[in-house]
Structure 1
């Protein structure tokens, strides 16, 4: 039998301590990490107008951009924008490439299984857009038509649920590519948000694209990794406070030319 002071016993204690330290590091609190770095890394797709886009001076603007700027400023942190695509929003959280996502990020049951969401701060509609002269009143009218969607988005998911078997769906990797297809006339039907349809008409008025019908109304929220309770509580409190004081409504009005709906504003009461 080894004595309490034997080398083997000391080695066991050292290994136990190392394992506990490693486990602690692996589950480090994200809020503490953010505050220590004095920086908030926010993943944003840079080409989803009016949520995120560049102006004529190549400055990044948009409702999600200003939302991220306001959050970092209120938290007393430097904002670092991490460029992403809509497809990579969840992976960027899971691989710690970003602390949070503020990028037209709809709350869905599927996403909520693998990441957490804050209190909703804005809405986004999923609509079917097509030229004014094209008769489309329901999903059944998509039969035989070529329809585009941006891969991995809720727009893509909602379209997939209702598209007739004879509809041909082309999925692009980002909204910028989908936009190019619509502006150039390569595509006739786009399942997206109303504001992106407006951008198509601004770029090419001859397209005369309009919203035919709404597939779904989704809620946008800040995305973060699972289990970061303190960070989620802080962001939830921030969202509620800025719904109450009107800051988030002002940002939404500036870029979407509408007021936040009552169900969103109710979270701030």
Structure 2
């Protein structure tokens, strides 16, 4: 009888089945993240510790900031230990995708592009971002950026926004983290930057002579807890946690303590 399934076809079928098996196991492993967190007794949260007042280390090298307090509260309510995984803007999602972090709480804006790769919780925080420059500098439209260098942190939504906005003749200068970006402005190396309003305030505190002010709105950003796709149980738990902690006012209190302002109204209006 003629062999209806040649050897190469059998091997091909076996390879496909094996690949599907690995994909299925991966999906199951991800969907079981909440159980693994409880089983290990800790949650690994990626936080960029170079972004005051969101997250930073103080003079005693202790972790401070609204994102740090949010992460501590989440771990406490989960009943597990918090393990902070240091990151930067460009490395937040890779750490998550390679399973070196369970979630990301790092002032990460919910965007359609990021939603192609990861999932987010409902918004728990947010901020407005601007092109900022000294008061003495007249910038009223993007055309006024021609001939200017604009400091921005690589891999952030600010990077994407200013890249779209900047006209031909403007130079976007990218730094590896927010701390380095701010230092470049504070030191006088750069005059124009793309940053959140709170970071503009930090620059003015460090160098009052800069008299930095918002010039052009980039976007109003909403932040979510970043998670891997298919982490269904974990996402459901985090969404309920955000909802409950907004109702109790705890997240608003954390925001006001560190940001010196009320939490954006859009955070309270937006669901999952």
**Is TM > 0.5 for Structure 1 vs Structure 2?**
yes
For residues 206-258 of structure 1, the C-alpha deviation after alignment (integer angstroms, 9 at most, x for no partner) is 11111113111010010000111111000000000000000000000101111
Whether the aligned pair in 2 keeps the contact of 1:240 and 1:267 (CA below 8 Å) is no
Question: How do residues 88-99 of structure 1 correspond to structure 2 at under 5 angstroms?
Answer: 88-99=91-102
Whether the aligned pair in 1 keeps the contact of 2:127 and 2:264 (CA below 8 Å) is no
1:243 corresponds to 2:251:
no
**d(CA) in 2 for partners of 1:110 and 1:267?**
19
**d(CA) in 2 for partners of 1:22 and 1:256?**
44
Give the TM-score, by structure 1 length.
0.89
- Residue 4 (structure 1) aligns with: none
| Runs of at least 5 residues in structure 1 that lack an aligned partner in the other structure | 1-17
How far apart are 1:21 and its partner, in Å? 8.6
Say which of 163, 168, 171 aligns to 2:171: 168
**d(CA) in 2 for partners of 1:167 and 1:20?**
48
Question: Are the structure 2 counterparts of residues 62 and 25 from structure 1 closer, same or farther at C-alpha, using a change threshold of 3 Å?
Answer: same
**d(CA) in 2 for partners of 1:37 and 1:267?**
32
For residues 157-202 of structure 1, the C-alpha deviation after alignment (integer angstroms, 9 at most, x for no partner) is 1001111011011101111111111011000100011111111111
**d(CA) in 1 for partners of 2:196 and 2:21?**
47
Say which of 235, 246, 259 aligns to 1:232: 235
Question: How do residues 99-110 of structure 1 correspond to structure 2 at under 5 angstroms?
Answer: 99-110=102-113
Matched residue count: 251
1:198 corresponds to 2:201:
yes
Say which of 114, 138, 141 aligns to 2:141: 138
How far apart are 1:31 and its partner, in Å? 1.1
How far apart are 1:266 and its partner, in Å? 2.8
How far apart are 1:116 and its partner, in Å? 0.2
1:263 corresponds to 2:240:
no
CA RMSD of aligned residues (A): 1.7
Question: How do residues 25-44 of structure 1 correspond to structure 2 at under 5 angstroms?
Answer: 25-26=25-26, 27-28=28-29, 29-44=32-47
How far apart are 1:94 and its partner, in Å? 0.5
- Residue 152 (structure 2) aligns with: 149
Deviation beyond 4 Å, 4+ runs, structure 1:
18-25
**d(CA) in 2 for partners of 1:225 and 1:48?**
23
**d(CA) in 1 for partners of 2:261 and 2:150?**
28
Whether the aligned pair in 1 keeps the contact of 2:46 and 2:84 (CA below 8 Å) is yes
For residues 52-80 of structure 1, the C-alpha deviation after alignment (integer angstroms, 9 at most, x for no partner) is 01222221110011000000001101000
Question: Are the structure 2 counterparts of residues 160 and 22 from structure 1 closer, same or farther at C-alpha, using a change threshold of 3 Å?
Answer: closer
**d(CA) in 1 for partners of 2:46 and 2:233?**
20
How far apart are 1:144 and its partner, in Å? 1.2
SS state at 1:234 partner: helix
**d(CA) in 1 for partners of 2:168 and 2:223?**
30
Question: Are the structure 2 counterparts of residues 231 and 143 from structure 1 closer, same or farther at C-alpha, using a change threshold of 3 Å?
Answer: same
| Runs of at least 5 residues in structure 2 that lack an aligned partner in the other structure | 1-17
Give the TM-score, by structure 2 length.
0.88
How far apart are 1:105 and its partner, in Å? 0.4
